């Protein structure tokens, strides 16, 4: 009988994923519901052949340098990989995998929820009901911004951006996007491509951020960018928190430059700028874009597919 490869799981993963992991591998798992500290990752990965991590586990150059030579593959339970220093990991000859495609629909669904939740004041209206402050139907209370038929500007037309665009077309929205290159996606032939960010922002009655976090996109949506939006725009971020400058967003929400914001991700999460909590025109979620049972199982299975292929000498099917 061949020896099972040793895998460190830095988090608790869904049951269906763990069942398959334990069946095929010799598993060391973080017993806690909290992320592992870098020291623990270094210590517990000694003698491991591979690691399954998630976006809370920061593989910076220091941690990567301290990893045991035994570690040959890291697969992250996420499509985003801004928490992984790819150069440092590859420099050590460690294979890398992620989980593209399977979370596209769930994340696009949450983006539409944020667009509607923010623009229709779902948070403050719902709170009023729960507090007992809903006294009567009123012609002038709980008014939001109309979404159907508006211009939706998508920053980053990858898989998730395209899925957001397709959904938004169901709301008769006119799709505009900025991307490194024009895309030829089916069903989006009438979308308007903007090669310059400024030209996209000028059209953005709704702005949806769907690009990865990179050094180029860090704080890309800052005060100057927000000033280029039409007055009363709605901002939605379901990608990564640090793409927006929170102070600039909060100021714009206070001044009315932004009518509302729907945010599923935050700089420094799970901590976040508490200035958002004083605002009624925000719809806030705790990074649940991919949080459905179905999607999280599929993400785990993609990680397992990456491990299975690697340990049977095949190319990693979802390489970074
Ligand atoms: C990802 O996969 O990058 C997501 O942010 C997790 O939901």
Does residue 317 sit within a domain? no
Same domain, 122 and 86: no
At residue 186, the pLDDT reads: 78
Cα of 290 from ligand 1 centre, angstroms: 6
Does residue 1 sit within a domain? no
Same domain, 169 and 184: yes
Does residue 38 sit within a domain? yes
Which protein residue's CA is at the shortest distance from atom 6 of ligand 1? 78
Cα of 1 from ligand 1 centre, angstroms: 37
Ligand 1 atom nearest the C-alpha of 299 is 2
The response to whether residue 290 sits with its C-beta less than 6 Å from ligand 1 reads yes
Residue 287 is among the residues annotated as catalytic for this protein: yes
Same domain, 177 and 91: no
Same domain, 89 and 156: no
pTM of the model: 0.96
Same domain, 279 and 141: yes
Same domain, 32 and 133: no
Does residue 108 sit within a domain? yes
Does residue 78 sit within a domain? yes
Kindly tell me the sign of the dihedral angle through the C-alpha atoms of 162, 167, 168, 170. Answer: positive
What is the rounded (10 degree) CA torsion for 149, 253, 198, 202?
Answer: 40
Strand order across the beta sheet in which 192-194 lies: 192-194, 174-178, 151-155, 206-209, 233-237, 258-263, 282-284
Beta pairing partners, 7: 27, 50
Catalytic residue selected from 159, 178, 194, 287: 287
d(CA 228, CA 246): 17
Same domain, 251 and 134: yes
d(CA 148, CA 269): 31
Catalytic residue selected from 269, 293, 294, 296: 269
At residue 1, the pLDDT reads: 54
Which protein residue's CA is at the shortest distance from atom 2 of ligand 1? 78
Same domain, 117 and 266: yes
d(CA 52, CA 38): 14
The response to whether residue 300 sits with its C-beta less than 6 Å from ligand 1 reads no
The response to whether residue 80 sits with its C-beta less than 6 Å from ligand 1 reads yes
Beta pairing partners, 228: none
Range of the domain at 171: 104-284
Does residue 319 sit within a domain? no
Does residue 316 sit within a domain? no
Same domain, 96 and 109: no
**pLDDT tens, N- to C-terminus, the chain (320 residues):** 579 999 999 999 999 999 999 999 999 999 999 999 999 999 999 999 999 999 999 999 999 999 999 999 999 999 999 999 999 999 999 999 999 999 999 999 999 999 999 999 999 999 999 999 999 999 999 999 999 999 999 999 999 999 999 999 999 999 999 999 999 877 889 999 999 999 999 999 999 999 999 999 999 999 999 999 999 999 999 999 999 999 999 999 999 999 999 999 999 999 999 999 999 999 999 999 999 999 999 999 999 999 999 999 999 999 99
The response to whether residue 295 sits with its C-beta less than 6 Å from ligand 1 reads no
Same domain, 178 and 252: yes
Does residue 318 sit within a domain? no
Ligand 1 atom nearest the C-alpha of 79 is 2
The CATH code of the domain that includes 205 is: 3.40.50.720
Residue 218 is among the residues annotated as catalytic for this protein: no
The response to whether residue 78 sits with its C-beta less than 6 Å from ligand 1 reads yes
The closest of 291, 300, 261 to 279, measured between CA atoms, is 261
Number of folded domains that form the chain = 2
The closest of 98, 40, 41, 29 to 71, measured between CA atoms, is 41
Same domain, 175 and 224: yes
Residues 209, 243: contact at Cβ < 8 Å? yes
Alpha helix positions (H), 97-186: 104-119, 122-131, 159-169
Same domain, 193 and 307: no
Cα of 78 from ligand 1 centre, angstroms: 5
């Amino acid at each position: 009988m061949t020896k099972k490869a040793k895998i460190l799981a830095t988090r608790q993963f869904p049951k269906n994923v763990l069942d398959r992991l334990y069946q095929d591998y010799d598993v060391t798992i973080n017993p806690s519901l909290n992320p592992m500290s870098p020291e623990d990752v270094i210590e517990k990965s000694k003698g491991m052949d591979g690691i399954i991590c998630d976006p809370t586990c920061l593989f910076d150059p220091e941690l990567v340098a301290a990893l045991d030579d035994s570690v040959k593959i890291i697969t992250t339970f996420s499509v985003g990989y801004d928490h992984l220093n790819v150069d440092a990991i590859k420099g050590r000859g460690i294979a890398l995998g992620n989980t593209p495609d399977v979370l596209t629909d769930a994340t696009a669904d949450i983006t539409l929820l944020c667009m509607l939740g923010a623009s229709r004041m779902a948070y403050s209206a719902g709170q009023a009901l729960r507090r007992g402050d809903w006294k009567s139907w009123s012609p002038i209370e709980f008014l939001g911004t109309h979404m159907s038929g508006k211009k939706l500007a998508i920053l980053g037309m990858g898989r998730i951006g395209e899925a957001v665009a397709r959904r938004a077309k169901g709301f008769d929205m006119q799709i505009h996007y900025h991307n490194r290159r024009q895309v030829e996606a089916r069903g989006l032939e009438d979308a308007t491509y903007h090669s310059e960010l400024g030209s996209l922002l000028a059209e953005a009655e709704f702005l949806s951020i769907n690009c990865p976090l990179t050094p180029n996109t860090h704080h890309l949506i800052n005060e100057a960018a927000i000033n280029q939006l039409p007055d009363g725009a709605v901002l939605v971020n379901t990608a990564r928190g640090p793409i927006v400058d929170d102070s600039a967003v909060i100021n714009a929400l206070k001044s009315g430059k932004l009518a509302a914001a729907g945010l599923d991700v935050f700089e420094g999460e799970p901590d976040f700028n508490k200035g958002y909590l004083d605002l009624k025109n925000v719809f806030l979620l705790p990074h649940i874009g991919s949080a459905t049972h179905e999607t999280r199982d599929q993400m785990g299975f993609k990680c397992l597919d990456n491990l299975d292929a690697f340990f049977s000498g095949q190319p990693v099917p979802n390489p970074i």
